[in-house]
A and B are shown apart, each in its own frame.
Chain A
Amino acid sequence: MNFQMNDEQQMLADSARSFVRANSDVEKHRQNKQLVKLDAATWQQFAELGWLAVPFEEKHGGLGLGVTETMVLLESLGEGLIMAPYIATVVMGGGFLRHARELVQDEKIPALIEGKLQLAFAAEEYERVFSLENTAMSGEVQDNGIVLNGTKACVLNGDQADLLVVLVRTEGAVGDRHGLSLMLVDANAEGIERLPHRTVDGRQGAEVRFSNVLVPHEFLIGELNQAADIADSVLQEALLAISAECVGSLSVLLEQTVEYSKTRQQFGVPIGKFQALQHRMTDMFIAMEQTRSLLLAATLKTAEGHKDAPRAVHAIKAQLGRGGRKIVQEAIQIHGGMGMTDELGVGHYAKRVTAADGMFGNADRHLMAMAAARP
């Protein structure tokens, strides 16, 4: 057992920290009250730093690294509240590309690594509790391909993606694990309409409508009707990435709250001198440490392929809506009125963690999934 970073991980962490020190996006969150286009210069910088190459094989120009390195990187990006769609394009989009047909991989992965390709995973649907099995949007299988009809909701990075990874039901009924298919679709294809929106935490998303969109068979990811396992494994990496980013954001919330309580004076003393607040900040600290531990448990178990890795992933994702929420709410409360303003960073960090709980199933769903996955 060893919780020390190796040289490569340390280098990644150092480069991410120094980037974040120079480029924290908190100010951008304050300014962005409209939809914004992808910050191409920052994305190019990500490419040059090698970050876009992290999870890909060397034959495609990748660094051949895994979820542990992604964790190290994203924790730092979370500290700077970085807006760039790393999770949507590299972790989720890239994760699915690694399961695409060889020819597709050879073409798309190098483009992604060079920073020339944006992706988005279209999975959520309106008025449906999120789970893979609960996917209802249908794909009709024909000789020349699969025809998509329906609407996907809250597609992160959906407005600026070049390629969409779409999860649909090609067989069976809602509730079945069998019958799910994944396909890569040109986001600008005829029959696709995208309605962009901001998300509460300053990301970009879109409602994506499909009307008779024909996708040739070679753009299937995995086998027809058998996408559930691939979707699960990529989704797990996404949940780890989301959690790592939140750990970065939560650590800033804790630090800023403690700092604020040492400087804010009321009744002639810093408010941090009040025992009622000391105990609550201590509980925030404990929740923070527990969250870190779960992130490590889930990431390392996944990296090493432990059988109980999926349960640990459910545990850390659930923790964002439990201990994470507690830290967020206390951070706002202890900052008082200032915590409620758009002006301070606190609210923006708080929104990111709040949003994370709502993505791909909240704490309740993941605790139930954890219970169901008991060996």
Chain B
Amino acid sequence: MDLQIPESEKFFRDEVRTFLAENLTDDIRRAGKLVTSVFSPVEEAMAWQKILHKQGWAAPHWPEAFGGTGWSVSQRAIFAEELVRAETPPLVPMGLLMCGPCLIGCGTEQQKAEYLPKILNGEHFWCQGYSEPGSGSDLASLKTFAEKDGDDYIINGTKIWTTYAHHANRMFALVRTKKDGKPQQGITFLLLDMKSPGITVEPIVGLDEVPEQCQVWFDNVRVPQANRVGRENDGWTVAKYLLMFERGGQAYAPGLNVLLEKIRVMAGKQQGTHGTLKDDPVWQYKMASLEADILALEFTEMRIKSALSSGKDPGALASMTKILGTELLQKATELRIETLGAQALIWQPQALVPGAEQPPLGPEYAMTAMPHYLNSRACSIYGGSNEVQRGIIAKAVLGL
């Protein structure tokens, strides 16, 4: 056992850094700094995706044949880390991280040929139609129904918490195609054109006053059967395959370390009566608690990465990093608002829109803290709530 880093990886990291230094525009950098969610401002994220795509780096984890990079697990991790360190706006994940890998694994040749290039170049903007008002944690109970009609399905029902549906032109959705039997066995995975007649999208305003989520209604929406991924009534298998990409393979520690560093810098600017807040033992204790937890997470994630490199399936461990990563993020955003005191109460969402003309009140570094704190409360709810994740570990790992 050792922690030596091969020369080749050091060289690769330099290559990525040079690329970022040369290709990140000021607008994209600024948008990255203003991000208060796992979802970036759309325009800048898509502009950044175009630049990466030109370099062939938009989807490093895809097989080379479909436009991936052929990088090793380590190289991919280094690349992701450097993007986070440079505070680039995160790429919108629904196409690149979710639908794309799913089509590569479960799609027909025709679907791959049609959709994958358009995910890479950003022509298709995907959203994920999973949750419904009555089906959140209990996703398998979903009711949106697809009835066969000639070569088509006709869909009726509604989806909710559909991130960026108001920006999307495509949706991958789980729909019910069979009403009897086990709920999981009557679900089908479909690809939809959001311009299809009968689709209505209504944005939902969040606690940060940003419409990030949507509710989507389907009123006799026609979808060709050719847009089905996998077999009819076998959509649950496809969804589970996709979920491995949604939950797995994501490392939280690098982003958390960037956030902690920001908090340390701002603590150093808050004057107390005896030095700055950074010198304050109570603040230091809280910071060190987070540092210790994040160091542990960093190595937990490296252990998982190492298992992935040797071809093992990390399985339920993805649930563990989801719990740890999201809850530590929440703790870090708490420490940030605590560090800022009343400055975090100044509410100016208008100043967070890229290109905003009005300068913010108070220190500029303070204005993202409260929206980020509020937005990050959602992390333990979405992507399979942390209660569901704990249930998975109890069952799949502990055998309870």
| Interface set of A (CB-CB < 8 Å, partner B) | 33, 124, 126-131, 133-134, 136, 153-154, 174-175, 195, 197-201, 205, 207, 265-268, 274, 276-277, 321, 325, 329, 332-333, 336-337, 339-343, 347, 350-351, 354-355, 357-364, 367-368
Q: Which of B59-67, B204-212, B255-263, B288-296 faces chain A? A: B204-212
The residue that B361 contacts in the complex, of A131, A133, A207, with Cβ under 8 A, is A207
The 6 closest A-B pairs by CB, nearest first: A175-B273, A342-B205, A266-B138, A154-B342, A129-B272, A198-B347
A195 touches B161 (CB 8 A): no
B381 touches A340 (CB 8 A): yes
CB B153 to nearest CB in A, in angstroms, measures 26
- Nearest chain B residue, comparing its CB with the CB of A124: B342
Chain B residues 324 to 345 lying within 8 A of chain A, measured CB to CB, are: 330, 334, 337-338, 340-345
Chain B residues 128 to 163 lying within 8 A of chain A, measured CB to CB, are: 131, 134-138, 141, 160-161
| Chain A positions within 8 Å of B204 at CB level | 341-343
Q: For the A-B complex with A154-B343, A174-B273, A332-B377 known, give 6 more contacts whose Cβ atoms are closer than 8 Å.
A: A174-B271, A340-B213, A347-B207, A347-B374, A351-B374, A360-B342
B399 within 8 A of A: no
CB A136 to nearest CB in B, in angstroms, measures 8
The residue that B206 contacts in the complex, of A124, A198, A340, A362, with Cβ under 8 A, is A340
| Chain B positions within 8 Å of A276 at CB level | 387, 390
B345 touches A355 (CB 8 A): yes
A154 touches B345 (CB 8 A): yes
B282 touches A368 (CB 8 A): yes
Assuming the contacts A133-B273, A364-B283, asked whether A350 and B341 have C-beta atoms less than 8 A apart, the reply is: no
| Chain B positions within 8 Å of A175 at CB level | 273-274
- Nearest chain A residue, comparing its CB with the CB of B366: A126
The residue that B207 contacts in the complex, of A197, A267, A350, with Cβ under 8 A, is A350
| Chain B positions within 8 Å of A201 at CB level | 345
| Chain A positions within 8 Å of B200 at CB level | none
17 cross-chain CB contacts under 8 A: A128-B272, A133-B273, A199-B346, A266-B135, A267-B138, A277-B387, A321-B338, A329-B330, A332-B377, A332-B381, A333-B385, A343-B205, A347-B207, A354-B337, A359-B342, A361-B341, A364-B282
Determine the distance from Cα of A129 to Cα of B334 in the docked complex, in whole angstroms: 16
- Nearest chain B residue, comparing its CB with the CB of A359: B342
Determine the distance from Cα of A274 to Cα of B283 in the docked complex, in whole angstroms: 36
A340 touches B346 (CB 8 A): no
- Nearest chain B residue, comparing its CB with the CB of A128: B271
| Chain A positions within 8 Å of B355 at CB level | none
Determine the distance from Cα of A130 to Cα of B213 in the docked complex, in whole angstroms: 37
A340 touches B347 (CB 8 A): no
- Nearest chain A residue, comparing its CB with the CB of B281: A368
A362 touches B341 (CB 8 A): yes
Binding site secondary structure of chain B: mixed
CB A263 to nearest CB in B, in angstroms, measures 12
- Nearest chain B residue, comparing its CB with the CB of A328: B377
**What is the size, in residues, of chain B's interface with A at 8 Å between Cβ atoms?**
54
Determine the distance from Cα of A228 to Cα of B24 in the docked complex, in whole angstroms: 52
A342 touches B209 (CB 8 A): yes
A340 touches B378 (CB 8 A): yes
Query: Interface digits, B360-383 against A, CB 8 Å rule (1 contact, 0 not)?
Result: 011100000010011001101110
| Chain A positions within 8 Å of B341 at CB level | 124, 129-130, 358, 361-362
Q: Name, among B269, B271, B380, B382, the residue most crowded by chain A CB atoms within 10 Å (CB to CB).
A: B271
CB B13 to nearest CB in A, in angstroms, measures 35
B270 within 8 A of A: yes
B348 within 8 A of A: yes
Determine the distance from Cα of A363 to Cα of B342 in the docked complex, in whole angstroms: 12
Assuming the contacts A126-B362, A333-B377, asked whether A134 and B273 have C-beta atoms less than 8 A apart, the reply is: yes
The residue that B381 contacts in the complex, of A266, A277, A336, with Cβ under 8 A, is A336
Determine the distance from Cα of A276 to Cα of B213 in the docked complex, in whole angstroms: 27
- Nearest chain A residue, comparing its CB with the CB of B330: A329
Determine the distance from Cα of A321 to Cα of B337 in the docked complex, in whole angstroms: 11
The residue that B346 contacts in the complex, of A197, A267, A354, A363, with Cβ under 8 A, is A197
Query: Interface digits, B199-235 against A, CB 8 Å rule (1 contact, 0 not)?
Result: 0000011110100010000000000000000000000
CB B270 to nearest CB in A, in angstroms, measures 5
A200 touches B377 (CB 8 A): no
Determine the distance from Cα of A276 to Cα of B390 in the docked complex, in whole angstroms: 10
B344 touches A358 (CB 8 A): yes
- Nearest chain A residue, comparing its CB with the CB of B370: A200
| Chain B positions within 8 Å of A126 at CB level | 343, 362-363
| Chain A positions within 8 Å of B134 at CB level | 265
B173 within 8 A of A: no
| Chain A positions within 8 Å of B135 at CB level | 266
A129 touches B377 (CB 8 A): no
| Chain A positions within 8 Å of B269 at CB level | 127
B277 within 8 A of A: yes
- Nearest chain B residue, comparing its CB with the CB of A280: B387
A153 touches B347 (CB 8 A): no
A127 touches B344 (CB 8 A): no
A266 touches B338 (CB 8 A): no
Determine the distance from Cα of A363 to Cα of B161 in the docked complex, in whole angstroms: 34
| Chain A positions within 8 Å of B330 at CB level | 329
B137 touches A336 (CB 8 A): yes
Assuming the contacts A126-B362, A153-B362, A197-B361, asked whether A340 and B273 have C-beta atoms less than 8 A apart, the reply is: no
B270 touches A127 (CB 8 A): yes
The residue that A341 contacts in the complex, of B206, B274, B338, B386, with Cβ under 8 A, is B206
The residue that B342 contacts in the complex, of A153, A265, A340, A347, with Cβ under 8 A, is A153
| Chain A positions within 8 Å of B377 at CB level | 329, 332-333, 339-340
A129 touches B271 (CB 8 A): yes
The residue that A337 contacts in the complex, of B131, B138, B374, B386, with Cβ under 8 A, is B131
CB A123 to nearest CB in B, in angstroms, measures 9
| Chain A positions within 8 Å of B390 at CB level | 276
Determine the distance from Cα of A126 to Cα of B271 in the docked complex, in whole angstroms: 9
A197 touches B343 (CB 8 A): no
| Chain B positions within 8 Å of A128 at CB level | 270-272
Determine the distance from Cα of A131 to Cα of B341 in the docked complex, in whole angstroms: 11
CB A331 to nearest CB in B, in angstroms, measures 10
Determine the distance from Cα of A329 to Cα of B207 in the docked complex, in whole angstroms: 13
| Chain A positions within 8 Å of B205 at CB level | 341-343
A358 touches B271 (CB 8 A): no
| Chain B positions within 8 Å of A342 at CB level | 204-207, 209
